[in-house]
Structure 1
Amino acid sequence: MALTDKQFTEALQHWDLDTLYADLASAKGKSLTPVEKLHLRGLLCGCSPSTIAEQLGKNAKGVETDLCATLYRYVKSLVGKSNGKIENWRKIAEWLEDAGYKRKLDRVALDNLLPEKSVVNITNINIENNQLVIAFNLRIPTSKALKTSGKNLDILNNVALD
C-alpha cells in the first residue's frame, strides 16, 4: 500500500496538523518525513501502533520501534516531558491536546442550521439509565403545502430518531 495523505485523514478535522508538523520539525531539527507524519496522524486518530501497522501493511514491532526512536522523542521534547516515560501510546494525543494542538469545536447556533421560521420546542428533559434524554418537537416549513393522507401519518408516527 502506498503511503499517502489520504490515510488517517480524520486527524485533519480535529488537529492543527500544519502547526504541529512545524513545531515537531523544530523539535527534531528538520522536517518530519512522510512516514512520521502518517504515523502521527494514525496516533491522533486513536489508532494503536499495531493498528497503524495493520492498516499500512507493516510489521507491528517495526512501527513501535520507529515510534519510540522518532515521534515519541520529538513529542516529549516539544511538550517539555523529555525525562518522562511514555507508558502508553495514548499519552501522545493527550499531551498534544493539553499543549493546544487539538482544534476546538466551533459552536454553531441551532438557528443557523435550520431554515427560517423553523420551530424547536423541548418537551421533556430527564435522566434515564445514566443518559440525558431530551424530547423535542421540530417543525420545519416546506416550500409547498403538502397533502398528507392517513397512511402518510401512520408512517410518520412510527419514525424513531436515535
Structure 2
Amino acid sequence: MASIDEQFSQAYNHWDLEALYTDLASAKGKRLTPVEKCHLRGLLCGLSPGEIAEKLGKNGKGVETDLCATIYKYVKNLLDKSDEKVENWRNIGEWLDNSGYKSQSIQVKGLDISPDKTVVNVTNINIEKNHIVFFISMKIPTSQTADIRQEETENN
C-alpha cells in the first residue's frame, strides 16, 4: 500500500499544491499534517469523504468529521468564507479553483508540457530592489510534426 504522502498524488497534476499547502498553513497557524494534506488531495481528486476513507481503509464518518474540523475550516478562513456553510464537499474544490489554485494547462499542438516531460532549471537567483529574481530555462519536448506559429499560440 502507498504511503500517506503518495496517496492521491494525481492531485499534483492539476493543482498548485505547494502554494495551497503554504497558504492553508498560514490560515491554520502551523503546517498541515500529512493526514490533512492527504485528505485535501483526495478532495481535489474529486473523491467524496466516504471514497477517501474507503481508499485509506478508514471510517467514513471519521474522515468527514476530520475534514469539517480541519480542511473545511482552513479553506474557509483562507478564502474569507468563514460565514459560509460547506453545503457539499465539492464546494472546497470549487472555491479553491475559483481562487486560482488549480493549475492552468496550456495546449499547443505538437508540445507535450506535462510535468513528467518538461525540464525546468533555475539558473540564477538574485535580489534586486526588494524583489527576488529567478532566471529559469525550460526544455519542452516537441513532436517531429510540431508547427508552432505565432498566430496559433495566440489563438489558444
Q: TM-score, normalised by structure 2?
A: 0.70
Instruction: Give the Cα separation in 2 of the matches to 1:29 and 1:97.
Output: 22
Aligned to 1:89: 89
Aligned to 2:151: none
Deviation at 1:2, TM superposition (A): 6.4
1:114 aligned onto 2:147: no
Alignment of 1:132-143 (within 5 A): none
Deviation at 1:34, TM superposition (A): 0.3
CA separation of 1:66 and 1:115: change in aligned 2, threshold 3 A: same
For the Cα contact (< 8 Å) 1:3–1:35, is it kept in 2?
no
Aligned to 2:46: 46
For the Cα contact (< 8 Å) 1:11–1:41, is it kept in 2?
yes
Instruction: Give the Cα separation in 2 of the matches to 1:93 and 1:117.
Output: 35
Q: Identical aligned pairs, as a percentage?
A: 62
Give the SS at the match of 1:53.
helix
Instruction: Give the Cα separation in 2 of the matches to 1:19 and 1:46.
Output: 19
CA separation of 1:116 and 1:87: change in aligned 2, threshold 3 A: closer
Indicate the structure (1 or 2) with the bigger Cα radius of gyration. 1
What code does the residue aligned with 1:92 have? I
What code does the residue aligned with 1:30 have? K
What code does the residue aligned with 2:143 have? L
Instruction: Give the Cα separation in 2 of the matches to 1:45 and 1:2.
Output: 16
Runs of 4+ with >6 A deviation: none
CA separation of 1:117 and 1:41: change in aligned 2, threshold 3 A: closer
Deviation at 1:97, TM superposition (A): 0.5
* CA RMSD after TM alignment: 1.9
Instruction: Give the Cα separation in 1 of the matches to 2:31 and 2:9.
Output: 20
